[in-house]
Amino acid sequence: MRNQKIIVLIFSLIVFNGFGQKKELKSAEKALKSKNFVAAKENIVAAEKFDLLNADLKTKAKYHYIKGVAYYADGESSLDDSFIALENFKKVISLEEDSTYKTYTDKVSPLKTAMLNNFVEEAKNALDLKDYKTSYSNLESAFRVSPSDTLYLYNAALLATEIKDFDVAMNFYSELENIGFTGVTTNYYAIEIASGEEQSFASESNRDLFIKAGTHKDGRDELTESVQLNVFRSMAAIYKNMGNTDNALEYIDKAKKINSNDINLILLESNIKWELGDVESYKILISQALEIDPSNADLLFNLGVVSADNDDVENAKMYYDKAISVDPNYTKAYLNIAALILSQEEGIIEEMNSLGTSNADYNRYDDLQDIRNNLYKEAIPYLETILSIETNNISAARTLRNIYSAVDDEVNYKIMKEKVEELEN
């Protein structure tokens, strides 16, 4: 008898629970009809106090549908609330997936389409305003609504990378890697008979309709290029920025399997090798890059720097001269050539300071002075060229001032002295 009372009591509780829940859902539904989304959300919160697990399938589907609509608020909700709405719409579809009736799934589908369009539009508007964070957040949301449209997530990753939100970008790229993203899509074309011009179509079926209608002919499909290399290269670059060189090199190797001659990939690896102190590998990679792009002044300049660091003055000057021949306004190359020339002064000064007071020493001192002055005169044209290109280059101006003073060129010394004072002020 006691057990009977307990069963009756539990049954009564379940009935009361279900009744209270349905009452709150009905109130939320009524609020939605009058577009009172705040009240609808309040009723949804109240309905959550009751046990949803024991509710029937129809009530569960209705609950998630109403919650989704309330949080979506006809597209006027915040991004966070839109995510809540989307999760609830997905639950509706999941609940009714094996059901004969698709009562709420049919209602959710147009809402998801509207949601997708809204996210894409918001992403575009934010991009126009250069609000990259808002743009990539909306692009990610668009992908969550339509997971088959992986380009949304890829573009979100690009924007996150652009503003150096590296953790966010890495999460996006990792997800793309895990789903096997390549970015390859099919474009559909056909020639419009009236104009003779080739036009693109959103889908194969759409294109074929126009061909059947007789307005178009000669349909063709075209596959876009894979962007998987870009994904791996971007991940490698992000890992490099994070200081994780092991992972960076791992993803460079993955990218190399796709295209080992990608110059940006080679340059990225060369930078890592340089930072690791692996100068030989760096030189090999830069030389490889120059084979691909022989007119790259930056690469030639970098090889000049490496040669100079190894005290290979002849090759350093050769590479700097080549950089200048490619780009006559490459001031860094002029400056480094001048520095190479003037670096020879150190040995001359040491010898001058070591000389004694004999006649032979005096004669040697004069010879060294002439050699020193000739070095100065050799460096002057490079420094003057720098100032002709970059009139505010104070480093070149100061060096020229000191050289003119050393070679007793009073006229140019005064000109350059005034120039330096002007730049300093």
Distance CA 205, CA 28 (A): 41
Distance CA 108, CA 248 (A): 43
Q: Is the dihedral of CA 230, 234, 236, 240 positive or negative?
A: positive
Looking at every residue in the chain, the average pLDDT score rounds to 87
SS3 content of the chain, % helix, strand, coil (to 5): 75, 5, 20
Q: Which CATH number fits domain 16-153: 1.25.40, 3.30.1560, 3.40.630, 1.20.1260?
A: 1.25.40
* pLDDT band for position 106 (cuts 50, 70, 90): confident
- Calculate mean pLDDT across residues 224-232: 94
Q: Please check whether residue 323 is in contact with residue 300, taking contact to mean a CB–CB distance below 8 angstroms.
A: yes
Predicted confidence at residue 102, as pLDDT, reads: 79
- Calculate mean pLDDT across residues 401-425: 92
Lowest-confidence region among 62-76, 109-123, 138-152: 62-76
- What is the SS3 assignment for 318? helix
Q: From residue 179, how far is each of 91, 134, 187, 223, 226 by CA, in Å?
A: 22, 24, 22, 19, 14
Provide the percentage of residues in the chain whose pLDDT is more than 90. 57
- Calculate mean pLDDT across residues 138-146: 94
Nearest to 82 by CA among 43, 53, 50, 123: 123
90, pLDDT greater than 80: yes
Predicted confidence at residue 10, as pLDDT, reads: 37
Alpha helices in 293-330 (DSSP H): 297-309, 313-326
- Calculate mean pLDDT across residues 414-419: 93
What the block records as the tokens of 265 is: 């990939």
* pLDDT tens figures, 280-320: 999 899 899 989 999 899 999 988 998 888 888 898 999 99
The number of beta carbons lying within 10 Å of the beta carbon of residue 252 is 24
* pLDDT tens figures, 355-379: 888 889 889 988 898 999 999 999 9
User: What phi and psi, each to the nearest 5 degrees, are found at residue 372?
Assistant: -65, -45
Q: Does domain 285-424 bear CATH number 1.10.357.10? A: no
Regarding pTM above 0.95, the answer is: no
